[in-house]
Every structure is written in C-alpha cells, then in structure tokens.
Amino acid sequence: MAQNSEKWNKTIQAYKTYIRLEKNLSENSVEAYIRDITVFENFVLRMYDVTPTAVEEYMIERFLVHLHEKEHKKSSQARVLSGIKSFFNYLLLIDKIESSPAEFIAAPKSSRTLPDTLSIAEVEQIIGSIDTNTVKGRRDRAMLELLYSCGLRVSELITLKLNDLFFGEGYIRVLGKGSKQRLVPIGRVAQEFVMRYLDDRKEEEGRASKSRGEQYLFLSNRRTKLSRVMVFNIIRQATEDAGITKRVSPHTFRHSFATHLLAGGASIRQVQDMLGHENITTTEIYTHLNPDHLREAIERIEL
C-alpha cells in the first residue's frame, strides 16, 4: 500500500501543478480540486490498493455510492465527479492511460437550489449599521458598498487594486475567475465612500512606511491585503448589528444585487456581463427568484 500511496502522491502533485499553470485556476479552486481527489485517493487505496493508472470504472461508481451513503448532497457528488474526470483527463493527456475510467459515468442530477437573497431594505440596514465615525468603519462601509453595488465575488473584492479604479469614467476593473477582466459600472454613492476611505489612507501613509500590500485597495490594520475570512467577519458583525436574522455571506450580497438588477428591468445578458458569468445558464437561476419580471419579459415578445 505504501508504494501505491507514493505513486498517488506524485501523480496528484504533478496534476496540481498542471491545473495551476495550464488551467489558470485560482488558488482556492486548485485546493478544492486537490482536496476532492485526495478523498478519492484514500478511498481507492483503502478499498482496492491500486495506483491511479489502474483505477477502473466500477471503483469510481462505488466511491459515488460511498458519498451517497455518507449523505453528501447531489451537488457535492457532482462536483467531486467533475474533479475525478478532470484528473483522469490529465492522465490521458500525458499518455499514462489509454481511456478514462470516468468517461461514461453520469453525474447525479440535483434540483437547482435558489440562493438566499436580501431585500433592498435589508441591504440598506446592514450597510447602514456600520459606524462611519472610525477609519475602520469607513473602510468597511466602502467595502460593502462596492461588494453589493458592483456584484463582486469576495475574491474579486479583496484583490481590487488602486489602479483598477476609473472613477472619471465611472468604472472599476475586476479580475474574475480564470483571470478574466471585466469593467463594472460603479455608482455615485459607492464612489463617495471609497474616496472617503482613500482620504484616510493618504493620512495614514504619511505616518507609516510603505508595505508590499499597498497596491491593493482595501488593507488590514497591518496594511496588508484583506483575507476572505476578514470580509466574512465584517459582514457577520454588520448583519448582527442590523438585527437581520438571515445567514448572510459576501455571496448573499452578489445574489441580491443580481436579483435587484432583474427586478429593475435589466436584461439577463446585462446581468451576465455584470457578474462575469461565462455561461448564461449560471445567470438564469435569478429569473426563478423573480417570476414577475420573467413574465413581463415574455409579454414584451412580439409574435
């Protein structure tokens, strides 16, 4: 088993390098892929003790049954299977196997769950609960204004840089998934709060030495780039202070933004562009959140 385990480790490390460099995935996506394939590796070694190149179709099917028995959601099973298929496609690419044992395995179908959303009033309550009498409060307010009004992912928010701001033109430049850039309009209110925060930064920069993190727009107290966890904590505290009992995450703001755009009359294509979705089917879920808007769109079609 030890010998086979070593072969798995070497193969997975090579696969990790491949998806990081060739597929241009974010570090979070890379770690998610490796985490899933490592769970599969442990199962195969425990049950069958074979190398990656000796895995057969029935082993993968038995692994999926194992996930089902462990009460993993169908969406989770489908994600893991997608990662397994990617792994064996890599082995095909480097000529380690002649065919993929995962090729003809279908993913379990799951019903699409609607994302949690906030009303416009609830968004205003949460953002308005932040005390802007402090430097930290003004930073946090600027962050949440941008997060909501530009429909950003949390990873996009924390990687925004100073040179991504084009306030004269009314846009910010966002680096999305797969390092794809998009220009997103920014509203007047969000601009104002960001400018107030930047004024605070100028004062602090006069008293502190430069750090490597200062190219980023939003900085921690140590003048380094904010982490995802920090943003989650800021939102959790603001939600509590606002008296909102819903479970709110950075992505809740993004979902709410998309829903409110559609309700305001934006087309699904416009929302797709704003969110940076590669496939419009990802955006279509928001039409389920607003059936009245979809009905109006259908009625406008001339037959």
User: What CATH number is associated with residue 40?
Assistant: 1.10.150.130
* Same domain for 247 and 127: yes
Tokens 């395995």 label which residue?
105
Cα atoms in the 13 Å half-sphere on the side-chain side of 203: 7
Does residue 101 belong to any structural domain of this protein? no
* Same domain for 124 and 89: no
Tens of pLDDT along the chain (303 residues)?
688 999 999 999 999 999 888 777 778 888 999 999 999 999 999 999 999 999 999 999 999 989 988 888 888 888 899 999 999 999 999 999 999 999 889 877 665 565 678 999 999 999 999 999 999 999 999 999 999 999 999 999 999 999 999 999 999 999 888 778 999 999 999 999 999 999 998 887 766 555 555 789 999 888 888 999 999 999 999 999 999 998 899 999 998 998 888 888 888 888 888 888 877 777 777 665 554 544 444 344 343
Q: Is 293 designated active site?
A: no
Backbone angles phi, psi at 227, to 5 degrees: -100, 165
Q: Is 274 exposed, middle or buried (0-12, 13-18, 19+ CB in 10 A)?
A: buried
Query: Domain of 161?
Result: 120-299
Q: Is 93 exposed, middle or buried (0-12, 13-18, 19+ CB in 10 A)?
A: exposed
Whether 217 contacts 164, CB under 8 Å: yes
Element (H, E) at 174: strand 171-175
CATH at 139:
1.10.443.10
Does residue 59 belong to any structural domain of this protein? yes
* Same domain for 135 and 65: no
Q: Which residues contact 13 (CB under 8 A, 6 or more apart)?
A: none
From the list 138, 139, 141, 153, the catalytic residue is 153
Does residue 105 belong to any structural domain of this protein? no
Last residue of a domain, one of 93, 112, 146: 93
* Same domain for 129 and 88: no
Does residue 18 belong to any structural domain of this protein? yes
Q: Is 286 designated active site?
A: yes
Q: Is 251 designated active site?
A: yes
* Same domain for 283 and 183: yes
Does residue 115 belong to any structural domain of this protein? no
Q: How many domains does the chain have?
A: 2
From the list 16, 66, 85, 251, the catalytic residue is 251
Does residue 177 belong to any structural domain of this protein? yes
